[in-house]
Chain A
Amino acid sequence: MKKLIHFIPALIIFTMTTPAMAALNIFACEPEWASLAKELGGERVKTFSATTAYQDPHHIEARPGLIAKVRRADLLICSGAELEVGWLPLLQRQAGNTKVLSNERGYFEASAMVKTLDVPVETMDRTMGDVHAAGNPHVHLDPRRILTIATALNARLAELDPQGKEHYQKRYSDFKQRWQQAITKWQQQASGLKGKRIIVHHRDWVYLFDWLGIEIAGALEPKPGLPTTAGHLVSLKQALKLSPATMIVYTAYQNPRAAKRFSQMTNIPAVELPYTVGGAEQVNDLFSLFDVTIKRLSGERQ
């Protein structure tokens, strides 16, 4: 034990890695925000994503590796609206980093910059499952909202790193132009999807469907956040007899079994959508995220 105590100072020196060359150290709770920060910040920012497309952002543990990252962050970018309620407050409390507390400018909550959907209108309690008082937090699947968030994030980057103001503004203008063109293109590609009825695994898709005019025909989860049951699938099938659906969608982090089983029961095709950056092989930024999502929704194999 005594030997170990001598060992600790040596270890501290060893683990002190060289400081980042970038002006801002950004900790993104989800990959979509790391991607957006890279678009806007370029080489002036160093980004880290706490989660991958294969992880359910509701169910992350405040593990040591994440606490160490928050300790050195200048800016946290998170979806908010309670999506990270199980782990982010703990990271903020344990990291001892004043800059990134929720009341500070080093905390950027994406869902607070846009109008959220699915805000509970009546009383809310746990029998309703994993519902969020601030509305549905999966705001990044509407590219119009992404643009609003990018505008706010651009201002925040310039505020935290005033020397880079021109750099950020230039990158933002460039991103905005390319993004608006892309939205026009996606809307044309997706024009045939309007009015379609699609079954979802979880209500991750509310914003995407709101943008494209797609209707949610039902969810495989009986309540948000609760696993599928056989009984629920039977009643869902029953309900579809009256108003049919054309597709079942799920994400890379959700178990495909429920979607595949329901697909067998109903002969409706089940399609995995990338959900976020990294959720499919070709999806390495926000542009390819929507390219692939719309192609798959349109029934193209990709």
Chain B
Amino acid sequence: MNTYSIYAGALLFASLHSVSFAANQGNFNPDISLVIDGRFGSYSNTTDYALPGFMLGGEASRGENGYYLGHNELIISANIDDMFYGKLTTAIADHEGETEVELEEAFIETLAMGNGVTIKAGRFYSDIGYLNNQHGHSWDFVDAPLMYRALFGNQLVDDGLQVSWLAPTDTYLKLGVEGLRGGRFPSGGAAKDGKGVNVVFAKLGGDVGVSNAWQLGFSHMSAESNGRAAATHAHSTVTEIPTFYGNSQYNIIDFVWKWSPKGNSRERNFKFQAEYFEREEDGRVDMVNSSPFETSTYQGKQSGGYVQAIYQFMPRWRAGYRYDQLEATNTGSDSGVLDEAGLSVNGHTPKRSTIMLDYSHSEYSRIRIQYAKDDSYADTDNLFFVQYIVTLGAHGAHRF
């Protein structure tokens, strides 16, 4: 995480100034938008959050009790010239009393390669899966599906290069490869001289009549970890950090189906979405800072996914349901180490049921309430959220 707390205020001020300037000119180039995400959360469990069988990291958490801010983002994007498009996203968040600015995305993308080829370079959300490259503020629920939380710490974002090709066919067919650094969760350590992660993906899609549209995706990721640090709990003065070294193979299938009467989503529309994930891992887990030094071999096999349905039953109002379920089979030479790393299953199958209702006054504002019965770990938790997300500035894109 890049922390530049000193610059946070200055950056925010400078950008807000540009927003008002752009608006007055009636000219949104570059496109600047600011996302404000505020929340109220309530849950009852006091024990630390865990998903038995998975080493958690990144931004995996169940949220906070009471009033708090989520991801506030400042997004600047524009066509750089007739060859490139560029985008920068910074997240501004409070962390333990300090304001942090995190560089979420900073990439350039080609506009004019032609023949369906697009090259993207920089830090970007990987095109793995369906939900991964969508910003948190456009999610249908307050939080990420459990499998995204478990495997990617909510989302896979890394530094690297992507090359994709769109086939010249009536059926949408996009093939892509990504080479990534592997310096961040869930990889870590930038293995193989900073070329530790490779992704391939294929996406198919199309329309069925005027009312239906669909997309089906397959992704595979191969990652080398040279030290994936798990979230830790301090033991008195010394913090032992379970850290994974080894190879991980991921497979994802994702599917989305959207329906609206005569293709007019303004009044009513329906979306079905499902993703299934598999991961196999082979390597070792070290307890960094442990004395005497503890380590264990580790072979993991994890799978799971979610299904969700969102229905806009009248203009502005949407209701949704999501079901998550995960499972893991992990083995290793020292069960104590695996236990510390969160890799012991302890006979529990994590699952969660979530319902939400949201109201969008315009395309720029949304208020949501959400309830989840969360069986992530043995103690069932009841999570309740109220969230408001607003966008100031440029008009957002209507992504599929």
Contact = CB atoms under 8 A, between A and B. Distances in A.
Given A55-B262, A68-B166, A61 B399 contact: yes
A255 B23 contact: no
Interface stretch (A122-130, A156-164, A260-268, A269-277): A122-130
7 contacts: A64-B172, A65-B207, A72-B168, A93-B118, A96-B164, A120-B26, A255-B315
Contact of A15 (B171, B210, B267): B171
Given A52-B263, A227-B315, 8 more contacts: A62-B397, A67-B166, A68-B166, A68-B171, A69-B170, A93-B85, A94-B118, A99-B114
Interface string B152-176: 0000000000001111111111010
Contacts of A4: 218
A242 interface: no
A55 B206 contact: no
A36 to B, nearest CB: 21
A60 to B, nearest CB: 6
Contact of A96 (B115, B173, B207, B220): B115
A235 interface: no
Residue of B85, B168, B204 with most chain A CB atoms under a 10 A cut-off: B168
Contacts of B117: 96
A54 B262 CA distance: 6
A87 interface: yes
B398 interface: yes
Interface in A58-97: 59-65, 67-69, 71-72, 82, 85-87, 89-90, 92-97
Contact of B218 (A1, A55, A69, A96): A1
B400 A12 contact: no
A253 B113 contact: no
B258 A133 contact: no
B397 A101 contact: no
Interface string B246-259: 00000100000010
B166 A95 contact: yes
A90 B397 contact: yes
B205 A89 contact: no
B166 A62 contact: no
A101 B111 CA distance: 8
B175 A8 contact: yes
A213 interface: no
Contacts of B24: 123-124
Interface string B10-22: 0000000000000
Contact of B364 (A17, A120, A126): A126
Nearest to B261: A54
Nearest to A96: B116
Interface in B270-316: 315-316
Given A67-B172, A71-B166, A133-B26, A54 B397 contact: no
Contacts of A71: 116, 166-168
Given A15-B171, A64-B206, A226-B362, A93 B398 contact: no
A70 to B, nearest CB: 9
A227 B316 contact: yes
A16 interface: yes
A246 interface: no
A11 B204 contact: yes
A141 to B, nearest CB: 19
B399 A90 contact: yes
A118 interface: no
A56 B398 CA distance: 13
Range class of the A interface residue count: 35 or more
Interface in A13-44: 15-17
B26 A63 contact: no
A11 B205 CA distance: 12
B114 A1 contact: no
Nearest to B252: A1
B114 A96 contact: yes
Interface in B344-376: 361-364
Q: Residue among B251, B361, B399 with the most chain A CB within 10 A?
A: B399
Nearest to B23: A125
A16 B113 CA distance: 21
A225 B362 contact: yes
Contact of A60 (B112, B173, B398): B398
A71 B165 CA distance: 11
B395 interface: yes
Interface string B106-130: 0001011111111000000000000
B207 A93 contact: no
Given A15-B167, A226-B362, A65 B172 contact: yes
B112 A101 contact: yes
Nearest to A98: B114
Closest 10 CB pairs of A and B: A64-B205, A64-B172, A133-B26, A65-B207, A15-B169, A98-B114, A54-B262, A96-B116, A68-B172, A86-B398
Contacts of B109: 93
Given A98-B114, A125-B23, A255-B315, A65 B267 contact: no
A103 interface: yes
A62 B399 contact: yes
A79 B192 CA distance: 50
A286 B301 CA distance: 61
B203 interface: yes
Contacts of A120: 26
Contacts of B169: 12, 15-17, 68
Contact of A55 (B23, B111, B264): B264
